[in-house]
Amino acid sequence: MKKRNQFLVLFVIGILIINFVASKSFVRFDFTKDQRYSVSSTTLNLLNKVDQPLHIKVFLAGDLPSEFKQLQLETRYLLEEYKAQNPNIRFEFVNPVGNNKEASEIAKQFFQQGMTPERVNIAERGKITESIIFPWAEAQYKGIKYAIPLLKKQMDVSTEEMITSSIQHLEYGLSDALRKLVQERNQKIAVLKGKGQLEDVYIADFFRSLRDYYLIAPFTLENIEEQPQQTLEQLNEFDLVIDAKPEKKYSEKEKYILDQYIMQGGKALWLVEQVTAEQDSLKKTGSTLAFPKELDLYDLFFTYGVRINPQLVNDLYSAPIVLAQGSGSQTQFNPFPWMYKPLAAPLEKHPITSALERVQFNFANPIELLKNDIDKTVLLTSSELTKLEGVPKEISLDLIEKEPDFSTYTKPHQVLAVLLEGEFKSLYKNRVLPFENETHLNQSLPTQQIVISDGDVIKNRVTRNQPEELGFNPFTGETYGNKSFLMNSVNFLLGDEDLLALRNKPIILANIKEEILEEDNYYWAVFNLVAPLLFLLLFGSVLIWYRKKKYARPVQAKK
């Protein structure tokens, strides 16, 4: 009996020690194969910066299809992990159309706030009903609100695949919102102006999103003739330059400033074309002339290891062109196949293009990769069914009525976007400098550039002088991956690789097919009803047998 009491005392003391240690240190174990409930170091760093209550309201609630219930559960699990890491994280799930609210009116309010609802068909027991769901969350911190999309829409994939991709990107989406709310903007981006680049209204949607991360300012080279050295010093204050579809020729001084900016370790996102061909004139007159564009950037890119050839990419896997037919109130907008709008996709895995929707190009040019010491990663290419066309060339809308000759599509996977990394050689090495520069470098510090052979990748539609969402086609209802690709490119160039790495976090989901559920519905219903009762009956029987055996009195032998 004494030993038993000693054991009991030691046991209680052990429990107290364990509780004391647990109160001083926090440990959670994730035994899932894909570590889906373990947050990354990037997320932990962001969570540690939350020093005041951060409220997250999740609108993915109510009567949901099974696939969206899975997305709802995974969102809850991840937010619980965030809250466990930092008690300042607070969240709730809200049904926007609860209490008999009018769903269409609520959907309109969400749309006006930039949170587009989703209409889904729910198939259950042979019946199909349409429902409106709200796959969005809203985070609020220090009076600032930010909308978080929970559903990652993709073209040409099933609902299950889209939900899997959305779950895979949950931590990325939530951590991306955390970054915007808690981290100060300190990196600066220069948007080059003065060379016929796209007007602000045509790049407004992308830079409106980019402002959540970085400081952005226009930069012109117009003072280069009077103050070249000062212009270079001012440009060197920026971390990244973006050149969005220049139209005018660059002078030697201007090229030299851009070259020396790169040599100083500056980074660049080039959206440059070598062919002039505009869709607006095509729609107005029924034809347009495609001809080479004189930017005089050929030698600059050649030195860096790429060449944008003055050719047009004709791709059978492309976005349609939408044309107006009829007149007045009878006007209809109809889509037609158009091979000059390639839908580019990645060939290799990279954080910039992971799980990316296809990116829409318009009159793109092929990029040729040259041999040098620069590391080159192809980000986007055309499809297998591609051919190249020389310029000058007249392009007419009559093409929509002609059957393509498949035997001519023999130039597959033309490079349309490439990442360049390394130490670049200066174009002006062993050359007379356009102006005296005491800080001239013949080789760059380690840096990165991205070259995209189409300026229209960044161009958003404009309706009634208002910019529309980049990549969204209101006539077909499709959303392409232009904005995601460009945002990822800028994030990568400016050192946010850890945040982008979250996009590659694999999530393994065990999906049960709806057909199997329908076939075995009765079986599983009976199983769920009977199995617990049988378990209780078995447990009770074993318990009764054990008690009888333990307390049964031994039979005394007769004398």
pLDDT along the chain (559 residues), means of 10: 62 74 56 60 87 93 82 91 92 82 80 81 63 88 90 72 82 87 91 96 94 93 89 96 97 96 97 91 84 95 97 96 72 85 92 89 97 96 96 91 92 98 96 93 97 97 91 84 94 83 58 56 74 82 77 57
Q: Backbone phi, then psi, for 371, in 5-degree steps?
A: -80, 120
Residue among 145, 214, 207 at smallest CA distance from 184: 214
DSSP 461: P
What pLDDT shows up at residue 215? 96
Cα 100 to the chain's mean position, in Å? 35
What pLDDT shows up at residue 38? 67
Is 400 exposed, middle or buried (CB count within 10 Å of its CB: 0-12, 13-18, 19+)? middle
What pLDDT shows up at residue 503? 60
**If residue 259 lies in a helix (H) or strand (E), which one and from where to where?**
helix 252-263
Question: Model's pTM, two decimal places?
Answer: 0.76
- Locate all alpha helices (DSSP H) within 25-169, ordered by sequence: 41-48, 66-85, 103-112, 159-168
The correct answer on CATH 3.40.50.880 for the domain covering 186-321+331-503 is yes
**Pair 119, 131: CB distance under 8 Å:** yes
What pLDDT shows up at residue 101? 65
- In 142-223, DSSP assigns E strands to 144-149, 188-193, 215-220
How many Å apart are CA 438 and CA 432, to the nearest integer? 14
How many Å apart are CA 84 and CA 106, to the nearest integer? 32
What pLDDT shows up at residue 393? 93
Q: What is the domain partition of the chain in residue ranges?
A: 32-180, 186-321+331-503
32-180: which CATH topology?
Glutaredoxin (3.40.30)
What pLDDT shows up at residue 83? 92
Cα distances (angstroms) measured from residue 434 to each of 194, 255, 261, 445: 19, 9, 15, 21
What pLDDT shows up at residue 504? 58
**Pair 358, 343: CB distance under 8 Å:** yes
What pLDDT shows up at residue 104? 78
One-letter amino acid at 412 equals P
What pLDDT shows up at residue 322? 84
What pLDDT shows up at residue 473? 85
What pLDDT shows up at residue 230? 93
List of residues 6+ apart from 115 with CB closer than 8 A: 59, 134, 136, 138, 147, 149
Q: Do domains 32-180 and 186-321+331-503 have the same CATH topology?
A: no
What pLDDT shows up at residue 548? 77
